[in-house]
Structure 1
Amino acid sequence: MTESNRKPIGVPPRRQPDNLSVQNLVKANRSPGSNGESAPASPTSHSGPLPDTAPKQVTFYMATDDLKRAKAAYTGTSGQEMDRSWSDFISRAVLMEVERRERLYNEGNRFEGGTRNLAPGRKIQL
Structure 2
Amino acid sequence: MSDDTPNRQIGGLTPRAKTQDLSRLQARNRTEPKPEAVQPSEPVSVDTVKPSRAPSRRSTTVVVHSTARMTTYLSATTRDRARATYRATSHLEGDKSWSDFVERAILAEVERRELTHNAGERYEGDSSPLPVGRPLG
Q: Check whether TM > 0.5.
A: yes
- Separation of aligned partners in 2, 1:84 and 1:14: 45
Please tell me whether residue 18 in structure 1 is matched to residue 19 in structure 2: no
Cα distance in 1 for residues equivalent to 2:113 and 2:71? 21
Query: Please, what TM-score do these two structures have when normalized by structure 2?
Result: 0.57
**Is there any run of 5+ residues in structure 1 with no aligned partner, and where?**
1-6, 33-41
Q: Structure 2 stretches of 5 or more lacking a match?
A: 33-63
- The TM-score, its normalising length taken from structure 1, stands at 0.61
* Alignment counterpart, residue 70 of structure 2, candidates 55, 58, 68: 58
CA RMSD in angstroms, aligned pairs only: 3.6
In structure 2, the CA distance between the partners of 1:113 and 1:18, relative to structure 1 (3 Å rule), is: closer
Could you tell me the percent identity over the aligned residues?
32
C-alpha distance in 2, partners of 1:86/1:113? Answer: 23
Cα distance change of structure 1 residues 44 and 68 upon mapping to structure 2, 3 Å threshold: farther
Q: Moved runs in structure 1, 4+ residues, more than 6 A?
A: 13-16
The answer to whether 1:104 aligns with 2:116 is yes
Cα deviation 1:44-68 (Å, max 9, x = unaligned): 7248xxxx63111111111111100
Match for 2:124: what amino acid? Answer: E
Query: Which of the residues 92, 96, 101 maps onto 1:80?
Result: 92
* d(CA) in 2 for partners of 1:53, 1:44: 18
Deviations 1:28-82 (A, max 9, x none): x5229xxxxxxxxx897248xxxx6311111111111110000000000000000
CA apart distance, 1:115: 2.8
Higher relative contact order (CA 8 A, sep 6+): 2
* Aligned position for 1:92: 104
CA distance in structure 2 between the aligned counterparts of 1:44 and 1:99, rounded to whole angstroms:
36
